[in-house]
Structure 1
């Protein structure tokens, strides 16, 4: 019985954490906005304890700040900090892409090809919300299939902190048209089982993102 309750609690905590994380990334919660446990508890039909645990997890990810005696708020991440994070991601994300390219299976190659097709279609149809979702799916698949636990864990934290700025960029039609070609190049290198090309494609893409963020700034 206790195991069942614990499993239900863990599932609730994961659900609330995912919802708040996604809302922060999409900009539904503004930088420095207070996150009041009672309000979030009502909004998500979750206990205060569940919400508190979710906020602690997001604080560990660098998305939320815990303020002494004041609760929590969305952590403001400047463009310059986001650029520094992207610079670090070049090395770690390139490593994951290279590892994935070196070990990708035939079935996984077909999955990447379908993902590439769907991403190109989403941009062509102007469905930038779907493109953003597929972009995140690609990032996740590359991390998982790299089978590099340390790099994947580091990327999970870094990606969460910088993705809010990338989400804003990907919602711009002209930027999405550039970005989708860069993602296609990453997929093509992985499908070709070329680790060096995969690493380079990641580097080119993230340097492009850095350049776009500097233009916005």
Structure 2
């Protein structure tokens, strides 16, 4: 019995993360039912762990639980997505500032490599790869910024608005606009210029808000 408890405790947080990523990457559609038995088989987890993960994601606003009908993916409206990015603007600007202040030589090498991959993906028109590298960049900046509270909040907020931003990534010409914005953020952090890193991040997210409003 103790062995079962230990397994569930070990897999619970990981399952929440994996299911969050699946929703964020549009593997589940808005309003799609999330059946515990199916999820248990798909992720190789116990029903209790699946139930815990769904409760966690319901608390994050990604899943909604319906009386006598189980759980389903919550549809995030464009209006909600705009509000989420408005909140992210303040948090991500703070994290970018912290990243510029905390930058190490090792961090700088990783950012330069990501910079090259962003430019290559944008130039080649590889939008899936471009979107993937941008996600890696966001994660790396949060790691370098090392602001635990902001990171925790951002992980939840980004998951909620990810579907709309994924759509934006495939708008014709979007990569040509956003790639230089990401490069500007990287260059400011590499220069250890906290003010410039904050401003470049604000400018980038303000552009996302403007595009979401146009969609709405």
Under a length normalisation based on structure 2, what TM-score does the superposition of the two structures give? 0.91
1:172–1:68: structure 2 CA closer, same or farther, 3 Å change rule? same
Indicate the residue corresponding to 1:172 in structure 2. Answer: 171
Deviation at 1:14, TM superposition (A): 4.2
Q: For 1:121 and 1:18, locate their aligned partners in 2 and report how far apart those are by CA, in whole Å.
A: 29
Match of 1:44 in 2: 43
Match of 1:64 in 2: 63
Structure 1 runs of 4+ aligned residues shifted over 6 Å read: none
CA, structure 1 residues 103+35, in 2 after alignment: closer, same or farther (shift >3 Å)?
Answer: same
The question of whether the paired residues in 1 share the 8 Å contact of 2:8 and 2:46 is answered with: no
Which residue number in structure 2 is paired with residue 98 of structure 1? 97
Q: Separation in 2 of the partners of 1:134 and 1:206?
A: 17
Q: Is the 8 Å Cα contact of residues 8 and 48 (structure 2) preserved in structure 1?
A: no
Which of 84-93 and 171-180 deviates more? 171-180
Equivalent pairs, count: 216
Secondary structure at 2:71 match in 1: strand
Structure 1 gaps of 5+ residues are none
Structure-1 residue corresponding to 2:113 = 114
- After superposition, what is the alpha-carbon deviation per residue over 1:73-106, rounded to whole angstroms, capped at 9, x for unaligned? 1111110111011111111110010011012011
1:199 aligns with 2:165: no
1:177-207 residue CA offsets vs partner (Å, 9 max, x unmatched): 2111111111011001000000000110001
Match of 1:134 in 2: 133
Q: CA deviation at 1:2?
A: 4.9
